[in-house]
A and B are shown apart, each in its own frame.
Chain A
Amino acid sequence: MIIDFWATWCKPCCAELDAINDEYADWQKETGVKVIAVSVDDPRTMSKVPSFVREKGWDYDIYLDPNQDFQHAMEVINVPCTFILDGNGKIVYIHNSYMEGDEKGLHAALLKAAGKK
């Protein structure tokens, strides 16, 4: 499972989720991975999230964390922040920030977590 903290106003977050979405179908076939995208949009922008996601066409499960309770529980300081949880619910990968091509590193870590590599 991938947990990705993001927000509608965060450009690198959206670039990352777009990049994952391009590969998502393949990743699911390979590893059965599920992406959970947790929006940390505050009350000002949280009502935009459903439209934002539909427009983007993201096939993720989207959760809202408008007061950052879950963000704090996961010790996330800045977004984007991406976690991979293995089959036992153990965190095996954390990545903070996104640059072009970072999804390749995520994919490699995902294969490793799924025991495919």
Chain B
Amino acid sequence: MKSTIFTFLLLILSAFYAGAQILNGEGQVHGSIEIDAQYYKPDSLIGAPPVPEKILMNTYDQLDYTNGKISAGIRYEAYDNALEGYSPLYDGSGFPYKYIDYKSDGMEVTVGNFYEQFGSGMILRAYWSPSLGIDNSFNGVRVKYSPAKGVYLKGLIGNQRYYWTEGAGLVRGFDAELNLNEMDSAWNNMKTKIIVGGSFVSNYQVADNPTYNFPENVGASAGRLSIINGGFSFYTEDAYIINDPNAINGDIFKPGDGALVRAGYSQKGFSFMLGGERVDNMSFKSDRTATANDLAINYLPEMPRDETYQLAAFYPYATQPNGEQGFDAEIKYKLPRGSFLGGKYGTDLDAEYSAIRSLDTIALNDKTTTDQGYTTKILNMGQTNYFQEGTFEIQHKFSSDFRLIAQYDYEYYDKSIIQNELAPNIISNVGVLDGYYAISSAHTLHMELQGLQTMQDQGNWVFALAEYNFGSDWFLGALDEYNYGDPDPSLRLHYFTITGGYMKNALHITVGYGKQRAGILCIGGVCREIPASDGLTLSITNSF
């Protein structure tokens, strides 16, 4: 056991990488290309609307240049027009991301567009997720400075990207992080590793509403603490937003607050993690009128796991910024190698349970221009059950050629809260069997069988997938998702898709033909609706 964890120290690695290039005595160019295109056929039965353009395409193409202490980059994006499920506000093309970066002697200055995250992001996180259609990057200036060992300071100012324009609010942020073990040589060899951090973010937006006296400057602060001692780990972050009436919270003037705690113990072959969170009126955007995922300044880490299997991810949870509290517990255990049940390679067991409920609130009848909306009883759990999930997973490697994963998933899902539409609560049971078999070094087979059982919504589903990799570069696959239990027999439909592709080094080409059911894609509690579609898809990615 000598694995080492370096937190937030990627700078060192990037410096090594840049350093390697200085040795070459010349600048280096890197880049990546991503093209996603689809030919659409209307299908009224599955709810795929006619697409007038017939063919749509998104592309993201990045070029970066590094020479010693300087780096610069540019990204071209085109949505000709935006794929179904992406906002039509993306239609068009341009260079939304351009930056110049200078790094020297513990100081780094970035001008132009940049991404950033303070702590776990509860008051500031700008990130790029093309699959979610999110890019809330800043356009402005950022300075990172390390005045002494273990002291990391960051300051930034800028406007956020809003499709092809910028948000109205001007965001200013400051973050300080102290790594106590790095700061003091006496602490250096201590077994206990402690990191503390704090940040402050302020958003300025002109207030010219005749009725409400909106605050022009909205401030938010957060503090965090991380302690690791051998197998024990503890992390907490607490955040507070001063009154921020906005479209998400219904223009109430109540301050927002949030808390996150995670504690765990681990050793080789065993780990236990416990997490708790509370979110109360924590939507923080750089435009008080913005909705959905637009112009978010902060990010609210989600408790439940991101399910990766198709049917286990059928009813994914989305974080409720106006208020929720929940917890999560996970135990992992590896039956040792050579034991009766462990076999030659051991068997991995994983059990996880999470539950999210409403806050316990009392509505206030204070219909004034500085409406507080409600008060919260902090230590009480709310009455409404938003989401519960229990997952059990077992993974066993039978031989170096054959591996099998089995998963069972129980879920309770309040569709009217999570998807904001009037619907009964959904209880579902999902079973998954996932196998990999290497026939020979150049031929691999991957098969999945999944079933979802529920009495509500669209009823039962079954999913089957077979993928065959050959010649180490090529693959062919087929999958079918069948809604055999739909209450309406005429809607018991198959969603059949075939895919094929070629992978070589960083190049990936995938072609698919078939139907895609309507659903929701969620990554880390942030979600995007995926509309039903039928047709031909082409995806190309490469980097150099």
Contact = CB atoms under 8 A, between A and B. Distances in A.
A85 B23 CA distance: 14
Contact of A101 (B3, B275, B441, B544): B441
Interface in B250-289: 262, 264-273, 275
A83 to B, nearest CB: 9
Name A's interface SS.
mixed
B524 interface: yes
* Residue of B269, B446, B543 most packed against chain A (CB within 10 A): B543
A95 B6 CA distance: 24
A33 interface: no
Contacts of A75: 30-32, 62, 64, 506, 543-544
A105 interface: yes
A9 B305 contact: yes
Contacts of A68: 115, 127-128
A99 B5 CA distance: 27
A26 interface: no
B85 interface: no
* Residue of A10, A38, A75 most packed against chain B (CB within 10 A): A75
Interface string A14-39: 01001000100000000000001010
Contacts of A96: 503, 505-506, 508, 541
B301 interface: yes
Contact of A94 (B397, B400, B543): B543
A100 B269 contact: no
Interface string B398-438: 00111101000000000000000000000000000010111
Interface residues of A, number: 59
A111 B32 CA distance: 27
* Residue of B6, B128, B265 most packed against chain A (CB within 10 A): B6
Given A47-B262, A50-B228, A73 B437 contact: no
B289 to A, nearest CB: 26
Interface residues of B, number: 87
A46 B120 contact: yes
A77 B543 contact: yes
Interface in A54-89: 54-55, 57-70, 72-78, 81, 85, 88-89
A95 B64 CA distance: 20
Interface of A: 9-11, 15, 18, 22, 36, 38, 42-55, 57-70, 72-78, 81, 85, 88-90, 93-97, 99-102, 104-105
Given A11-B434, A100-B403, 20 more contacts: A47-B262, A48-B330, A49-B5, A50-B233, A53-B3, A53-B5, A54-B3, A59-B3, A61-B4, A62-B6, A64-B6, A64-B10, A67-B126, A68-B115, A75-B30, A75-B31, A94-B543, A100-B402, A102-B472, A105-B472
